[in-house]
Amino acid sequence: MKRATAAGRGVSPVVFMPFIRWGKSLTAKHKNQRQEGASYALIVLSCINLLNFADRYVPSAVKSLLKKDLHLSDVQTSLPATGMILVYMVAALFFGWIADMRILDRRLILAGGIASWSLVTALAGVSQSFGQLLVFRSLIGVGEAAYMTIVPPMIADFYPIADRNMAYLVFSLSAPLGGALGFVAGSVLGPAWSWRVAFFVCGFPGILVSLLVLTLNDPSPGVNDPDDMRQGVQELQPHGDDDGGGLRKAARKSALGDVRDIVAVPHWIVSEIGMIACSFTVGAMADWYATFLFRTVPGVTIGRAGLVVGACTLLGGVGGSILGSQVAEVVKSRCRNAFLLVSGLFMVPSTVLIYLAVNWTVGQYLSYALGLLSQLCFFTYLAPLNAVMTNCMPVHLRARAGALSILLSHVLGDLISPPIVGAISDGTRSLRAGMQLCWAMSAVAGVAWITGGLLLPPLPGSAGDADDAGPGGVAALPVKEPKAPQPSLLSLLSGEGEAEEEEEPPAALAKDPSGYGAAASVQA
């Protein structure tokens, strides 16, 4: 028997499921261009993210049915979501480390994460007690952590820097659409059949869809980034011909050392400050704004308030994501750090509109309009800030940086904002007093991003002083090149301009420049 060693991307998934037609493990031949299968991967990952948010929000639509059937209190109906966030934060740190160290093929991690959150979503439908519901809903955080720490860096590997804002736009749009899908599924299936059916319908399809991830190509990490941003990946490359791809000692750092490297990047710090502030606002508005409308606006019922908030979140999330991404694309050739500046400047009208929405409640339709417009301006940051936080981070730290961002954004953001607003409301006997924090934190995000956009050096691919090298590991493009045409959604989704990888026999895979750690042996 002749033995061939495929060095590279961790343990090969073919070992586990040989009946699947696997995607390719791409090499680093085609630098700074769309990698083969990029559009297919973006569509699949965005659709799965839609299911992710549908699974996350379906309990909100059937909360009253859950409460009645399982004899829960109001507090108990909220604790499963809190449990999910806590598990999500802790698991994100683990999966960020696993992904960056290339211990296992990231498609396997994604498939396992998707299947696990889908399975426990369905299992929550058979819960007979509060304890069972809490356990199943909390475990969703494990699968979501695997997905959300790996996918953003993977999209960055598929697309060059100039395309990432638009690629993240497509991915970001799936969040409000998925939330709306979960709410509709629960609102329709819950009353017609039962809340259990809603969980089954949202959960089981994801188990099958998880197999689609295994058909994606896997691009070489950092293939579309400057060489100095890939230094850590080169340290993680396999060494020796037959040692199975062990890691260099230079790549073995403590967790504290990784955190120091991440927080040394000023663009990431500025971005994260704003993300925490936005997470705080989102958590407070999502938990309290419907109740606020019911208590303060004459003629608004609690049912109508919930529907209005859901509709505003959907329209504002989709419209704001598109608006922010498109404006950033237009101005990025005219000023440096356009993605930070655009996100920050849109927070100015958002802050004013949120202030009016929580202080000027003179009529139903005016309150609805202010809520919609404030969210339209607010959610403009989603795609541009995803691009900034990816582009500024060295390739070998991206998954861990994403995990740290998840931890901080939840611990200091939407995990604490609802009870803080509630405590202020109880203490002052005025929910309006607590809601003032929403516009204040929106202002904090705007100040952070505008300040960073004006004072920090440009990122790779930005206009302005592109020859300057920024601190904290932020590298600039070595050469100024002619302006490329602005990417369009159609070109991103149609596969236009993608490189084509030539098929090679297994023996030619003995040396894989991809940067993954372990090796898998195949029998020929």
**pLDDT 10s digits, 343-367:** 999 999 999 999 999 998 778 888 8
What confidence score (pLDDT) does residue 246 get? 36
Rg (CA), the chain: 23
Q: How far is the C-alpha of 179 from the C-alpha of 55, rounded, in Å?
A: 8
What confidence score (pLDDT) does residue 349 get? 96
What is the model's pTM?
A: 0.73
What confidence score (pLDDT) does residue 14 get? 45
What confidence score (pLDDT) does residue 64 get? 72
Q: How far is the C-alpha of 123 from the C-alpha of 140, rounded, in Å?
A: 11
Mean of all residue pLDDT scores within the chain: 77
CATH number of 252-459: 1.20.1250.20
Between strands 519-523 and 3-7, the pairing is antiparallel
What confidence score (pLDDT) does residue 345 get? 96
Count how many Cα atoms sit within 13 Å of the Cα of residue 209 in the half-sphere of its side chain: 22
3-state class percentages of the chain: helix first, strand second, coil last, to nearest 5? 70, 5, 25
Domain boundaries, the chain: 34-223, 252-459
Q: How far is the C-alpha of 414 from the C-alpha of 331, rounded, in Å?
A: 31
Measured over the CA atoms of residue 172, residue 175, residue 178 and residue 179, the dihedral's sign is: negative
396: its two tokens: 């070998």
- Position 396, amino acid: H
What confidence score (pLDDT) does residue 461 get? 52
Q: How far is the C-alpha of 96 from the C-alpha of 91, rounded, in Å?
A: 8
- Position 442, amino acid: S
Q: From the centroid of its chain, how far is CA 76? A: 28
* 25 DSSP β-pair partners: 218
What confidence score (pLDDT) does residue 255 get? 65
Q: How far is the C-alpha of 130 from the C-alpha of 167, rounded, in Å?
A: 40
Read off the pLDDT of each residue in 508-516 and give the average, rounded to a whole number. Answer: 39
**High-pLDDT (> 70) share of the chain, %:** 77
What confidence score (pLDDT) does residue 48 get? 92
**Pairwise pLDDT comparison (277 vs 79), residue with the higher score:** 277
Are the C-beta atoms of 350 and 377 separated by less than 8 Å? yes
What confidence score (pLDDT) does residue 272 get? 95
What confidence score (pLDDT) does residue 514 get? 41
pLDDT at residue 270 is higher than 90? yes
What confidence score (pLDDT) does residue 495 get? 64
What confidence score (pLDDT) does residue 497 get? 63
- Position 411, amino acid: V
What confidence score (pLDDT) does residue 518 get? 35
Write the pLDDT tens digit of every residue in 133-188. 999 999 998 988 888 888 988 998 888 888 888 888 888 888 888 877 887 787 78
8: its two tokens: 């590279």
Write the pLDDT tens digit of every residue in 10-39. 444 444 455 556 778 777 677 778 888 888
pLDDT at residue 521 is higher than 50? no
Q: How far is the C-alpha of 452 from the C-alpha of 474, rounded, in Å?
A: 14
Read off the pLDDT of each residue in 239-254 and give the average, rounded to a whole number. Answer: 41
Write the pLDDT tens digit of every residue in 290-308. 878 888 888 877 667 777 8
Confidence of residue 492 (pLDDT cuts 50, 70, 90): low
Q: One fold for both 34-223 and 252-459?
A: yes
Write the pLDDT tens digit of every residue in 56-110. 878 877 777 887 888 877 667 777 877 888 898 888 888 888 877 777 888 899 9
The CATH architecture to which 34-223 belongs is Up-down Bundle (1.20)
What confidence score (pLDDT) does residue 115 get? 93
What confidence score (pLDDT) does residue 308 get? 80
What confidence score (pLDDT) does residue 510 get? 38
For residue 263, count CB atoms less than 10 angstroms from its CB and return exposed for 0-12, middle for 13-18, buried for 19 or more.
middle
What confidence score (pLDDT) does residue 254 get? 62
What confidence score (pLDDT) does residue 471 get? 39
